Structure 1
Amino acid sequence: MSKNYILVGAYPNRDKQQQPGGQLTATKLLVEYATLHDIKLHIIDTSENTFPAPSLKKRVFKAIRRVIELRGVIKENRVDGVIVFSGPLFSFYEKVLMSAIAKYYGKKSILLIRSGHFIDSNQRSVVIRYLNRYLLKIPSKIVAQGTKWVEFYKDMNVDISKVELISNWIKVKENHNYIGNRDKVVFLFAGAMVEKKGVLELFDIIQTHYQELKKYTFRFAGEGALFEALKQRKEENHLDNIELLGWRYDSDMMDEYQRADVFILPSHAEGFPNAILEALNYRLPVIATDVGGISDSIINGYNGYVVDVKDNESIYKSIKQLGESFELRNKFSKNSEKILKEKHDFYQNCQALFNLF
């Protein structure tokens, strides 16, 4: 007899254009795995447009509708468990309520918190931290995206026996070879153009060291609150080695990874960013900050460089080291492939997730 689960996560209709994101990729691959193994999923879509952000009233209305849908499905159908993807703050409280409903009806729930901002919010507020410690007791299992997440849950007094480390997953490209440019090296940033993604620091580095870095190209794929201001800054300061691309979707974004030599993401907070997964899938060396689960898969001096948040000098040195050595980039690329296959294979990790029930 096939198993039946409820999946709560971003999974928009095909006719709805959605900005790329880690949760969307994870849910799509989870659905693909379920289809291959005769697992039936009732999907409750939680996708939202990020830019512009919806009003609080609209978010509350949608959340209530989703909670009612979840309760109805559990009451009227045979359900073997509930998989719940969550973000920080309001998203977390909605998803914990769903886990509580599942618990009330005797169903196991697995909570996957995907945003590093959840960790930040708990570190900033004693009240939020105290409340969330209690709420994290509700799900049957919690999936951590890396060892730092495991340590965070320990610090939140979560029963460690209910925490499982399952790395974010992607469909691994087989037999993909890193080509790389020996002359005009391309550094790629992909993500929202907002302060928390570290784009201001990256612009500061490029502008401060322009004479040394003008031989490289820095391509920014993404939009957001800072996009127009950074476009103006680029033009006013004649930063000709910067290219602002706006959002790129699907095949266009894949082309960006294909033409890049190095991926760079100096974020202030992350869960485990899908952009880094994509970079690993194209065997790119990576420069990233030590946040969320990143340091499990980007190992300093092995397949990239891991630096502290806002450490502009270390980011600059990492850019120089990788920019100046094709041999180093090629070595890191081969190591990225090893880590990708060991930790991020979608089949292996989705299987591990369903095995938690």
Structure 2
Amino acid sequence: MKKLKNLTIATDRNGQGGIATVLNGYANEHFFEMTNSEILISHSTNAKFGLLSQLFTFGLCILNLIYQLLFCNIGLVHIHMSSRGSYMRKSKLIKLIKYFNVKVVLHLHGAEFREFYGNECDATKQAEIRATFNSVDKVIVLSSQWMQWLKTILDDPSKGVVVYNAVPALEIEKRITEEFNFVFLGRLGERKGVTDLIEAFKYVVQKHPQSRLLLGGDGDINKYRKLVETLELTESVKLLGWISGDDKLNVLKQANAYVLPSYNEGFPMGVLEAMSCNIPVIASTAGGIPDAITHGIDGLLVEAGDTNALQLAMQSFIESPTQTKKMECAAKAKFLKNFSPQVIIPQIKMIYTDLGAL
């Protein structure tokens, strides 16, 4: 009998976004070699010709998948999925894979999937989504909060499992500057609470003129540039555009705090990266963030939309450096214990083993 081979279906790991970051983390730890897995790309943020390129990429994925299912001994297919268009694509692939009676691990990353399911889908579509989730062999979610929701749609709750995202520890040498730099990394938009962050920072910089806000990410940059100009914050707020690699590391070296006041999240990679390199975190309670940050112990949490609480949290990091340092150290210890690849990769491998794919 041919050796078991596993497949991973996901977005292009050379692109942008959290799933690409997760896949690169797996690759760095040689996960795909250890599990004899091949990646099939179903979508790419690097598409040069828009919809046409995306259709070609997805079509190629389907053809490759059919070939693998016909001629290889497939143990399981591990599908990374967010919401909306990603669900539409992946649900079709799941039906195809189950037609061949191959096991499927569905890995849910979508920060807005609950909103998509609850507010954007009618009863018929919701029933289809439930059927899709119940047809697979294991569903991975990113936090205990997401597990609570998952149990409402699974007939067999034991199919669900929490596996946190993992990022490699970033060992950086912090730069000492006269400014106190708050850093945000991610898509600039309302879901991430960027307007709230800028408006809260307006009051922080009035009290602490040496503070700076560095916004790294793509999205509606022009909208936020206009907001910064309207609030007369152009000297204190810097819009950096999308940054990665060495550029991102250089920003993190300057960071005195990481801020993420999101309204919806899965399990944000940026928070984990900050924890890994001793940057204290202020974040909302959205999604899986409370699994990573315990308020007052290894960071500060605020309710999404509460700009006053956000302002006070940012000021406290400046005004209480001893307490901030304690939280920073506690966050690094928590990262190493719970969120490093050395902890998470074995959990994924155990799922493969339990399903007979290793």
Q: Is the TM value for this pair above 0.5? A: yes
> What is the alpha-carbon distance in structure 2 between the residues aligned to residue 76 and residue 229 of structure 1?
51
The answer to whether the aligner puts 1:298 opposite 2:293 as a matched pair is yes
Name 2:165's counterpart in structure 1.
168
**Aligned in 2, Cα 1:100/1:51: closer, same or farther, shift over 3 Å?**
closer
> What is the alpha-carbon distance in structure 1 between the residues aligned to residue 281 and residue 342 of structure 2?
24
- Residue correspondences, number: 348
Name 1:6's counterpart in structure 2.
7
Name 1:157's counterpart in structure 2.
154
Say if 1:271 and 1:293, in contact at 8 Å, map to a contact too.
yes
Name 1:234's counterpart in structure 2.
228
Could you tell me which runs of 5 or more consecutive residues in structure 2 were left unpaired when the two chains were aligned. Answer: 353-358
**Aligned in 2, Cα 1:154/1:180: closer, same or farther, shift over 3 Å?**
farther
Say if 1:180 and 1:261, in contact at 8 Å, map to a contact too.
no
Say if 1:2 and 1:38, in contact at 8 Å, map to a contact too.
no
- Structure 2 counterpart of 1:136, from 125, 133, 138: 133
State percent identity of aligned pairs: 20
User: What amino acid maps onto 1:355 in structure 2?
Assistant: M
Matches within 5 A, 1:263-302: 263-302=258-297
User: What amino acid maps onto 1:153 in structure 2?
Assistant: L
The secondary structure found in structure 1 opposite 2:37 is strand
Say if 1:284 and 1:333, in contact at 8 Å, map to a contact too.
yes
RMSD between aligned residues: 2.5
Say if 2:204 and 2:314, in contact at 8 Å, map to a contact too.
no
Say if 1:261 and 1:329, in contact at 8 Å, map to a contact too.
no
Give the deviation of 1:58 after TM superposition: 5.2
Give the deviation of 1:351 after TM superposition: 1.9
TM-score, normalization by structure 2? 0.89
Give the deviation of 1:52 after TM superposition: 9.7
The secondary structure found in structure 1 opposite 2:106 is strand
Give the deviation of 1:232 after TM superposition: 2.8
> What is the alpha-carbon distance in structure 1 between the residues aligned to residue 46 and residue 194 of structure 2?
18
> What is the alpha-carbon distance in structure 1 between the residues aligned to residue 277 and residue 49 of structure 2?
31
**Aligned in 2, Cα 1:89/1:203: closer, same or farther, shift over 3 Å?**
same
The answer to whether the aligner puts 1:111 opposite 2:106 as a matched pair is yes
The secondary structure found in structure 1 opposite 2:151 is helix
User: What amino acid maps onto 1:231 in structure 2?
Assistant: R
The answer to whether the aligner puts 1:332 opposite 2:327 as a matched pair is yes
TM-score, normalization by structure 1? 0.89
Say if 2:79 and 2:106, in contact at 8 Å, map to a contact too.
yes
The answer to whether the aligner puts 1:43 opposite 2:43 as a matched pair is no
The answer to whether the aligner puts 1:88 opposite 2:83 as a matched pair is yes
The answer to whether the aligner puts 1:22 opposite 2:23 as a matched pair is no
> What is the alpha-carbon distance in structure 1 between the residues aligned to residue 155 and residue 259 of structure 2?
33
**Aligned in 2, Cα 1:318/1:151: closer, same or farther, shift over 3 Å?**
same
> What is the alpha-carbon distance in structure 1 between the residues aligned to residue 168 and residue 247 of structure 2?
18
What per-residue deviation string (whole Å, max 9, x for no partner) do you get for residues 183-220 of structure 1?
A: 52111000111221111111121235541243311111
Name 1:65's counterpart in structure 2.
60
> What is the alpha-carbon distance in structure 2 between the residues aligned to residue 309 and residue 40 of structure 1?
42
